[in-house]
Every structure is written in structure tokens, then in C-alpha cells.
């Protein structure tokens, strides 16, 4: 947390000669191979993005690696990352690297857009939900202690400032995207003060957006409704843990963790990754991971950098490839390999995109 | 499928010709491998040509641009040039031409230019065309990478330093006035924002190219507020780069150290005028204005030119100018355009010609003309060495 306090000024964006610089954190498991594919697609399509690769070794106990990564993101302003594994057997002073990054850079809003993709067989159709999850406090505050032997207290923190901030983000996003309804997910009947504060802040912000309907739903009812009738939801906003649960449920509804990208936004920085943040250790280096989520996350990155034409080209190529069932990876029921999917995407970009450069 | 079998046969042929140079086939599209003898056929398919603005400028600029065009044509580079002729000294000074140039660079994003000479006499405008260009396009960073050329030995060999110069403010602010008759005041402007920007550029460049040290050059003992602000801004930015060493040196000491022991420097960052001096000094260390390429960056655009900007008017029409600097700069431009293969081809060819030492222009101690040199470069294209 030393880095957080000593940075005194906001540096200008790292864009020179039309080329942006983006920090790339490979992470563990399937992260490195998927990010290599992203780099290849970018190089092929002449996307003006240079990646600064920062490796974080998850088995080291000291915080140098992760501080380097955080400083690199402070410099460049934008990052694309794979998930860094957190070892459960380490002592409690060893904080989760991913969580450390989110709190140090104050990436308070996690946005996940769940859409039913054409060509993917699921039990539910026509799902289009945006989930906004508070990313820095709540149950993930890492404040636990054993007050009496055999008794552990875990603190869940809800603050007025952060709740107002996330509610404001949710409503602004809903307005920008032309959405009609925002639903706050909570458990205020049990945690009357904590989630009650969250709900009250959402209501206060909602009064400033009369064109958007606001309602609330308790988290248990929400998850049941999601598996019965997910089409009723539009935009959902919630604290940290419920966000984790609900976003994984929605990812499962649209076809699995390999399909949905996620974005973490703060006031000054943005970080893009897969929505469900899986390390995928069991399928690492087997060429069977689904590259869709990471590639769609890179499209969100391009949108953030205002490189919209490149984003649209790559996104369209991905969605067209989705239609080919023989190119589905095993997680969505096909037999294709990661490289085949990426190759097909590059072929489509070459046919439809503005400019490509391929070698040998 | 026929395509797959063709690909397999082509790649096996490729592998026997070149050793295990080609990578795993599953990630590469179908291609035709480059034949070793004819450099014209390239193994790259770029779907469209890249459009680049070309400004020949004054002096030997047009001859150098001709050299670049010839080499590009021989190497089959997918770049199309949009030429804009503009000059301030040859009675061609016009605002529309300048606007045309701005629009062209804005559309294309990349430009290659010679030096646009500025008249010595004060003709009513304090800012020259080059300054106007830099300010309008906000080309705030000038990068000159000074490296010793293999095969050409100078008093200092194996030199490798980068000079980054803030290009839009400082002493070149074009703000001068005669407050009292016979007394002229020239304003040097240093702003915190631009100093931060150039410092960040320098550190980002150092990070990208794996450099270990950035040295700020200043004269803050005399210009306490101006250069003091520059130095302070660099120090603030340096905090974000814990892996890169940050030092500072006063300009007079820097110049002396450069001629005695230039190896102690890695990346240098400085305001405008000091940058001009150090650029030329460092170019002199490795062989002169004819061998060092330079580039200018803004947020959006990149302009490629020679490192030491001299029109060299006395060489016009005599076919003696050294096109090395412009060719190396053109190779850098190709790398910027994502055409790495062509970039390497051009720069390797130029370096090979210099290394062989048979064809050298007058400034490197030889007797050959510009055209001879260009012909030698064209002949050396496509001879890829296998590592």
C-alpha cells in the first residue's frame, strides 16, 4: 500500500505516435496462452497497441512483483490480465494478488455484460443482463481475526461513499446504454444496517434518474429468478460477494466461463479480464481453452481506448466464428482447439477488416 | 484439402531451404516463401498499402527521398507516398500548402520528411514552418537513437545512446520582442505539463526498449525556476519507474562527458535547445549527419526524418549526400507501420553495405555517389542471414 500513497500526480496517457501502451499481466493457468493469442490477433490486425508484459509470480510471498504490476498500470492507465492464482494454504497476511490490485488502484466497478451468443446452445435464450458489482469492499475487505480461540470474526464493510459511487456508476451506465431498469440485489432483511445502507444509497441515486425504473430484490430470490426467467433482468447492481455469485450464475446461463468478458473500472484506471476470473489450471497448455472471453475483453479494452473500428472488426469476427459449431471448444460442447478458433477469427478479420499484415 | 496440402508442401520446402526457421504451421496463413535470389517477391501479404505523407523539403531532401523510393520499390514495400512540396525559402511559402500538409499528416498518421529550411532574415513571422508543423501536430518528442555503425570505425565505437528532446516549447517558443530600442527579449517557456509529458515519454521509451538509465540534462544552477521545473517534473515521473535509474547532469558537463566518455549515458532527456546541441554532437561522434536517423512523436502521429536536421544545400545536384540516415529512418517508419519484415530487410541491407566498406559516400571517406550507394543497397536486399 506504500505505492498507493506516494503517487502524487496523474501522468498523461501512454500514447505516442498513435500507439497506445497497455500493461499485460499473463497470470497463471490459461492466462498466458490466451493473452498470447490476443497479442497475435492484435499484431495481425495492425491494432496500434503495444503491450508491456509484467509477470507476477503467484508463489512468491513478497509483494514486489505485484507492486511492480500496480506501478506499471499506474503508468499506462490500462491493463489486460489473466487471473493470478491465490494459494489457500498461505497465511492470512498473504493477500490475494488480484484483490490487492483492485483495491490499490481503486477499481471500484466491475462490469459484466452477459449476452446470449448466437450459435451457442443454452437452455435459456435472449439473455441480456449487465451486472455491476462493487469491487473494493463488502465481504472482500480481508479483515478477519480470531478474537477467541475457535471463534473467527470476518468483517463485511459497507460504506456510504462507495455505495453511492457504485450506484451512480450503475445509473450512468444504464442511461448511456439506453437501459430501462436497474435492480439492486441485497440481503437487507438480515443485514439490516449493512445492506440497508447499500439499498438506501441506491434509492437516493435513483431519485436523480427519473427515466430509469429502480427496484430491488433479495439475493436468494434473484438467483432463483435467474434460473427460471432471466429475461426479466436488465441492469443489476450489488455489493461484492453477491456480485461474485450472480455473475457466475449468469455466465453459466449464457454458456460458460469461456464466453463472457469482464471489465474493472476506476476513476483513473481500467483493467480488463474474463468475467468469472478463472485460472483454469486443469486445462492449461492443452490448447482447449476458449479464447472468446479474453478476446472479447480485449475488444472492451479497444473500446476504452476509443479504437472503435478495430473493436467492432474483431468482435464481429468472433461472433461469426461462434456460429460455426465445428469450431466450438470443448467447454461449449465442441471439439475444436483454441488455435483453430483463433485462426478462423484471423481469417475473417482478413476478409472483412481494413488492414492486416501476416508473415511467412 | 488442396490448400492444406499446398501449405504443407510449401512449408516443407521452406524448411529445407532455410533450416528450422519457420515456426509451427498451424498459426500461420498460407503464404509463398521468399526466394533467396529475387528480393522482389516478399513473403508478406498486407491486404492494402499503407499511405504515408512525404515532404522532400529543401537542400538534399528530394535526393534522399528519391533514394528511399528506389529502395522501397526494389523491396516491394506496400507503402504509397503522398508527396507534398513545401518550402519557406524558395518563394513557395504559402499557408494553403501548410494546411494541405497538416491535413495529409492527420489523415495518414505517419510522415517522412526532409528538412524545411528557414530563412535567416526576419520576414514577419517568428515561427518557422517546421516549428508550426511541430506545434500544430503536437510532435512533442524527438527521439534520436545514436548507434555506431558496424564496419565504420570512429573515435568512439559501439556507442548506443538515445536522445529524447522536448520539441514544442523551451527556447523555441518563437516569443521575442524589442521592448526598448536596441534591447531584445527572448522568452524561454518551460511548463510543468509538457515537462511531465516528455519525461514520461522518455521513461516509457526506456521501459519499452529495456534501457536501464535515464539522465535529465539541464542548466538549473543558472535557470533555477525554468530548468528547475523541468528537473522536478522528471524526478516526479521517475518515481513511477522504480526499475529505471534516474540521474541528472548539467549541459556543459554533459557535452564534455560525451566527447570523453559517451558510454556512461543510456537515455538522455532534455528541453529543446540542449536537445538540438546534443543531437548534433552525438551524431558527430558516430559519423556525422548522414548516418543518424531520428523520429518525432505526438499522441497520434509519427514523423520520421534524419537525426541531425541539415538541408546540406551545398550538396544539391552533386549526388554526394549520404542516404543512410534517411534509409534507416524509413526502416524505422516501416517498423512503426507494423511491417517488421520489410523494416529488417531495408535496415540489414544498409548496414551490410556499410560493413562491407566498398561503397561509401564522401562523408564516410569514400568516393561513391548517392546513386551508387542506393544501387548497392538494392543489390543487398533480400539476402537474409539465417541465425
pLDDT tens for A43-61 read: 999 899 999 999 998 888 7
Hey, is B75 helix, strand or coil?
Answer: helix
Give the Cβ contact number of residue A80 at 10 Å. 23
Name the minimum distance, in Å, from the CA of A346 to any CA of chain B: 9
User: In whole angstroms, what is the distance from residue A200 CA to residue A211 CA?
Assistant: 19
Q: Please tell me the total number of residues recorded for chain A in this structure.
A: 360
Which chain A residue has its CA at the smallest distance from B194's CA?
Answer: A12
The gap from C-alpha B28 to its chain's centroid, in whole angstroms, comes to 32
Q: Which residues of A touch B28 (CB under 8 A)?
A: 358-360
Contact between A18 and B45 using a beta-carbon 8 Å cutoff: no
A143-152, B40-49, B311-320, B370-379: least confidently modelled range: B40-49
User: Dihedral of CA A298/A301/A305/A310: which sign?
Assistant: positive
Give the span between the Cα atoms of A306 and A93, in whole angstroms.
Answer: 39
pLDDT of residue A18: 87
Q: Which of B141, B240, B337 sits opposite A7 (nearest CB)?
A: B240
Which of A2-16, A211-225, B125-139, B273-287 has the least mean pLDDT? A2-16
Please answer yes or no on whether A17 and B300 come within 8 Å at the CB atom. yes
Mean pLDDT in residue range A224-247: 91
Nearest CA in chain A to B140: A16
**3-class DSSP state for residue A235?**
strand
- For position A279, what pLDDT does the model report? 87
Cα–Cα dist A313/A105, whole Å: 30
What pLDDT is attached to residue B97?
85
- Residue B26 with chain A: CB contacts under 8 Å: 339-340, 343
Report the phi/psi class of residue A116: left, alpha or beta, with left for phi > 0 and alpha for psi in -120 to 50. Answer: beta
Residue B240 contacts A where some CB pair is shorter than 8 Å: yes
Closest partner CB to B208 (pick from A18, A50, A340): A50
- Give B-chain residues touching A75 at CB under 8 angstroms: 200, 203-204, 207, 240-241
Name which of A287-296, A317-326, B90-99, B294-303 the model is least confident about: B90-99
**Cα(B262)–Cα(B268) distance, integer angstroms:** 11
The closest of A68, A80, A65 to A23, measured between CA atoms, is: A80
Test B204 with A14 for CB contact under 8 angstroms.
yes
Q: What is the torsional sign of CA B272, B278, B280, B286?
A: negative
CB contact residues (below 8 A), chain B span 280-299, against chain A:
295, 297-299
Give how far B288 is from chain A: nearest CA, Å: 27
The three-state secondary structure class of A103 is helix
A360–B28 C-beta distance less than 8 A: yes
Cβ contact B50–A355 (<8 Å): yes
- Is pLDDT above 80 for B94? no
Q: Which residue of A lies nearest to B106 if distances are taken between CA atoms?
A: A18
Q: Say if the Cβ atoms of B196 and A52 lie within 8 Å.
A: no
Cα B77 to Cα B377: distance, rounded to the nearest angstrom: 14
> Are the beta carbons of B48 and A355 separated by less than 8 Å?
yes
DSSP A117: P
Determine whether the interchain pair A12/B200 forms a contact, defined as Cβ–Cβ distance below 8 Å.
yes
Judged against a pLDDT cut of 70, whether residue B11 lies above it is answered with no
Least CB–CB distance from B44: residue in A46, A52, A357: A357
Nearest neighbour of A11 by CB, restricted to B50, B200, B336:
B200
Predicted confidence (pLDDT) per residue in A265-300, tens digit: 999 999 999 998 888 888 889 999 999 999 999 999
Verify whether the Cβ–Cβ distance B48 to A359 is below 8 Å. Answer: no
CA atoms within 13 A on the CB side of A312: 7
Q: What is the pLDDT of residue A160?
A: 92
Say whether residue A350 is in contact with chain B using an 8 A CB cutoff.
yes
d(CA B32, CA B23) in angstroms, rounded, equals 14
Query: Which residue of B lies nearest to A15 if distances are taken between CA atoms?
Result: B299
Cβ-based contacts of A52 with chain B (< 8 Å): 207-208
pTM higher than 0.95: no
Interface pTM, i.e. ipTM: 0.75
- Does the distance separating the beta carbons of B338 and A17 come in below 8 Å? no
Chain B contact for A347, CB < 8 A? Answer: yes
> Which chain A positions have a beta carbon within 8 Å of B210's beta carbon?
none
Average pLDDT over residues A257-262: 92
Whole-angstrom Cα distance, residue B281 to residue A301? 42
Chain B residues whose CB is inside 8 A of the A340 CB are 26
pLDDT of residue B31: 35
* pLDDT > 70: percent of chain A: 96
Q: Which of B27, B30, B209 is best to mutate for the A interface (most A CBs within 10 A)? A: B27
Instruction: Report CB contact under 8 Å: B208, A359.
Output: no
Does the pLDDT of residue A351 top 50, yes or no? yes
Provide, as residue numbers in chain A, all residues whose Cβ is less than 8 Å from the Cβ of B243. Answer: 68
Residue written as cell 472483412?
A352
Percentage, residues of chain A above pLDDT 90: 57
Is A11's CB within 8 Å of B339's CB? no
Q: Is A19 on the interface with B (CB under 8 A)?
A: yes
Residue B24's pLDDT is 39
Residue A360: pLDDT above 70? no
Q: Do A21 and B204 touch (CB under 8 A)?
A: yes
A223 and chain B in contact, CB less than 8 A: no
Average per-residue pLDDT for chain A: 89
Are A71 and B340 within 8 A, CB to CB?
A: no
Question: Chain-wide mean pLDDT for chain B?
Answer: 84
Q: Using an 8 Å CB-CB cutoff, list chain B residues near A14.
A: 200, 204
Amino acid at each position: 500500500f506504500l505505492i498507493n500513497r506516494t503517487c502524487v500526480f496523474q501522468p498523461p496517457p501512454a500514447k505516442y505516435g498513435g500507439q497506445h501502451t497497455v500493461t499485460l499481466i499473463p497470470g497463471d493457468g490459461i492466462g498466458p496462452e490466451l493473452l498470447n493469442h490476443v497479442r497475435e490477433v492484435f499484431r495481425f490486425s495492425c491494432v496500434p497497441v503495444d503491450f508491456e508484459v509484467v509477470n507476477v509470480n503467484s508463489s512468491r510471498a513478497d509483494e514486489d512483483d505485484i507492486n511492480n504490476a500496480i506501478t506499471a498500470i499506474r503508468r499506462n492507465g490500462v491493463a489486460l490480465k489473466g487471473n493470478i492464482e491465490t494459494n489457500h494454504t498461505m497465511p492470512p497476511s498473504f493477500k490475494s494478488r488480484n484483490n490487492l490490485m483492485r483495491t490499490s488502484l481503486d477499481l471500484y466497478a466491475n462490469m459484466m455484460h452477459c449476452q446470449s451468443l448466437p450459435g451457442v446452445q443454452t437452455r435459456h435464450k435472449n439473455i441480456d443482463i449487465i451486472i455491476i458489482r462493487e469491487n473494493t469492499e463488502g465481504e472482500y475487505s480481508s479483515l478477519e481475526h480470531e478474537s477467541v480461540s475457535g471463534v473467527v470474526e470476518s468483517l463485511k464493510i459497507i460504506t456510504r461513499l462507495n455505495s453511492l459511487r457504485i450506484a451512480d456508476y450503475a445509473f450512468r451506465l444504464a442511461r448511456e446504454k439506453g437501459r430501462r431498469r436497474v435492480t439492486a440485489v441485497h440481503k437487507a432483511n438480515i443485514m439490516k444496517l449493512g445492506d440497508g445502507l447499500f439499498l438506501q444509497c441506491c434509492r437516493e441515486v435513483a431519485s436523480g434518474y427519473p427515466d430509469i425504473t429502480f427496484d430491488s430484490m433479495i439475493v436468494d430470490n434473484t438467483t432463483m429468478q435467474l434460473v427460471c426467467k432471466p429475461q426479466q433482468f436488465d441492469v443489476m447492481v450489488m455489493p461484492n460477494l453477491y456480485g461474485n455469485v450472480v455473475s457466475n450464475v449468469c455466465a453459466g446461463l449464457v454458456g460458460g466461463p469461456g464466453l463472457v468478458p469482464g471489465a474493472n473500472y476506476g476513476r483513473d484506471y481500467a483493467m480488463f479480464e474474463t468475467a468469472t476470473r478463472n485460472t483454469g489450471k486443469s486445462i492449461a497448455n492443452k490448447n482447449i481453452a476458449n479464447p472468446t472471453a479474453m478476446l472479447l475483453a480485449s475488444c472492451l479494452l479497444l473500446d476504452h481506448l476509443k479504437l472503435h473500428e478495430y473493436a467492432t472488426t474483431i468482435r464481429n469476427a468472433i461472433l461469426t466464428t461462434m456460429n460455426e459449431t465445428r469450431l466450438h471448444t470443448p467447454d461449449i460442447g465442441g471439439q475444436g482447439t483454441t488455435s483453430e478458433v483463433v485462426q478462423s477469427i484471423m481469417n475473417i478479420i482478413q476478409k472483412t477488416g481494413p488492414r492486416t499484415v501476416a508473415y511467412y | 484439402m488442396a490448400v492444406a496440402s499446398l501449405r504443407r508442401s510449401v512449408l516443407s520446402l521452406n524448411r529445407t531451404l532455410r533450416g528450422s526457421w519457420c515456426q509451427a504451421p498451424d498459426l500461420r496463413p498460407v503464404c509463398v516463401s521468399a526466394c533467396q535470389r529475387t528480393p522482389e517477391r516478399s513473403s508478406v501479404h498486407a491486404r492494402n498499402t499503407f499511405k504515408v505523407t512525404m515532404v522532400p523539403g529543401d537542400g538534399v531532401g528530394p535526393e534522399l527521398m528519391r533514394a528511399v523510393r528506389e529502395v522501397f520499390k526494389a523491396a516491394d514495400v506496400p507503402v504509397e507516398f503522398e508527396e507534398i512540396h513545401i518550402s519557406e525559402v524558395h518563394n513557395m511559402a504559402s499557408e494553403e500548402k501548410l494546411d494541405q500538409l497538416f491535413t495529409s499528416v492527420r489523415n495518414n498518421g505517419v510522415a517522412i520528411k526532409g528538412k524545411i529550411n528557414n530563412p535567416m532574415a526576419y520576414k514577419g513571422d517568428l515561427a518557422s514552418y517546421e516549428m508550426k508543423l511541430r506545434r500544430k501536430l503536437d510532435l512533442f518528442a524527438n527521439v534520436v537513437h545514436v548507434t555506431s555503425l558496424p564496419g565504420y570505425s570512429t573515435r568512439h565505437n559501439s556507442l548506443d545512446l538515445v536522445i529524447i528532446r522536448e520539441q514544442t516549447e523551451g527556447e523555441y517558443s518563437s516569443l521575442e520582442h524589442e521592448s526598448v530600442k536596441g534591447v531584445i527579449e527572448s522568452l524561454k517557456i518551460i511548463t510543468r505539463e509538457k515537462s511531465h509529458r516528455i519525461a514520461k515519454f522518455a521513461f516509457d521509451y526506456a521501459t519499452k526498449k529495456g534501457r536501464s538509465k535515464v539522465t535529465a540534462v539541464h542548466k538549473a544552477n543558472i535557470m533555477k525556476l525554468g530548468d528547475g521545473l523541468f528537473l522536478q517534473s522528471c524526478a516526479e515521473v521517475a518515481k513511477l519507474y522504480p526499475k529505471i535509474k534516474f540521474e541528472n547532469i548539467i549541459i556543459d558537463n554533459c557535452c564534455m562527458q560525451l566527447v570523453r566518455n559517451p558510454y556512461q549515458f543510456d537515455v538522455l532527456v532534455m528541453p529543446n535547445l540542449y536537445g538540438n546541441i546534443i543531437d548534433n554532437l552525438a551524431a558527430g561522434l558516430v559519423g556525422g549527419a548522414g548516418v543518424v536517423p531520428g523520429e518525432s512523436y505526438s499522441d497520434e502521429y509519427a514523423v520520421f526524418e534524419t537525426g541531425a536536421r541539415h538541408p546540406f544545400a551545398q550538396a544539391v545536384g552533386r549526388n554526394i549526400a549520404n542516404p543512410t540516415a534517411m534509409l534507416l529512418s524509413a526502416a524505422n517508419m516501416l517498423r512503426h507501420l507494423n511491417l517488421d519484415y520489410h523494416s529488417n530487410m531495408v535496415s540489414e541491407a544498409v548496414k551490410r553495405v556499410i560493413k562491407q566498406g566498398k561503397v561509401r559516400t564522401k562523408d564516410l571517406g569514400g568516393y561513391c555517389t548517392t546513386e551508387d550507394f542506393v544501387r548497392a543497397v538494392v543489390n543487398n536486399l533480400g539476402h537474409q542471414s539465417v541465425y
